[in-house]
């Protein structure tokens, strides 16, 4: 077994939607980011890389590389799943938390879980996504951006 954790933040800028857990959510702001800014998928991707001893998301997908401009973060996640598989590792548990004052995320959680589970090739009941506010405190509370954290468990696949 190998455990990994991930954390990510993106600031808001002018826009009309945010993408979280691969779900496009209409909103009165957008993410300032090189990619689609999906903090939830970035936190999970970093947790997977960490558990596998493969560094971090910035090392594999540098934001200075035009190839990743506005990229769908699900593509990056699926790419990392292949890298794990190449090392004989598979993910057996994901738990993640999104910290956002707005938009309200409750109705979108099931859709996020479905997308994450599909990308990871995992059953739905082994992927958990939670949403919380920070009680109006700090940058999330002031609605300057959104943060996410994730924990994952990997196991070595049997030969």
- Residues in contact with Mg ion by CB under 5 A are 8, 42
- Pick between residue 8 and residue 101 the one whose CB is nearest to Mg ion: 8
- Pick between residue 8 and residue 119 the one whose CB is nearest to Mg ion: 8
Please state the closest distance from residue 39 (CB atom) to Mg ion, in A: 6
Q: How far apart are CA 55 and CA 59, in angstroms?
A: 7
Please state the closest distance from residue 8 (CB atom) to Mg ion, in A: 4
- Pick between residue 42 and residue 74 the one whose CB is nearest to Mg ion: 42
Please state the closest distance from residue 59 (CB atom) to Mg ion, in A: 13
- Pick between residue 42 and residue 115 the one whose CB is nearest to Mg ion: 42
Name the residue number minimizing CB distance to Mg ion.
42
SS3 category, 110: helix
E-strand ranges in the chain read: 2-13, 17-20, 23-26, 30-31, 89-99, 127-132, 145-156
Please state the closest distance from residue 48 (CB atom) to Mg ion, in A: 14
Q: Beta partners for 3?
A: 153
Element (H, E) at 45: helix 39-51
What is the residue whose two structure tokens read 């960490």?
50
Q: What angle do CA 37, 85, 118 make, to 5 degrees?
A: 50
Please state the closest distance from residue 68 (CB atom) to Mg ion, in A: 11
Cα–Cα distances (Å) from 86 to 46, 52, 153, 158, in that order, read 17, 11, 17, 13
- Pick between residue 68 and residue 92 the one whose CB is nearest to Mg ion: 68
């Amino acid at each position: 077994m190998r455990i990994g954790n991930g954390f990510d933040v993106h600031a808001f800028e002018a826009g009309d939607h945010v993408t979280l857990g691969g779900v496009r959510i209409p909103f009165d702001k957008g993410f300032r980011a090189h990619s689609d800014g999906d903090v939830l998928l970035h936190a999970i991707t970093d947790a997977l890389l960490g558990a596998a001893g493969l560094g971090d998301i910035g090392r594999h997908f540098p934001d200075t590389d035009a190839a990743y401009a506005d990229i769908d973060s699900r593509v990056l996640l699926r790419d990392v799943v292949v890298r794990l598989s190449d090392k004989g590792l598979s993910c057996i548990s994901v738990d993640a938390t999104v910290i956002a004052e707005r938009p309200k995320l409750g109705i979108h959680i099931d859709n996020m879980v479905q997308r994450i589970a599909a990308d990871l090739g995992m059953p739905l009941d082994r992927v958990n996504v939670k949403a919380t506010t920070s009680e109006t405190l700090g940058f999330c509370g002031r609605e300057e951006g959104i943060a996410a954290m994730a924990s994952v468990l990997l196991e070595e696949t049997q030969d």
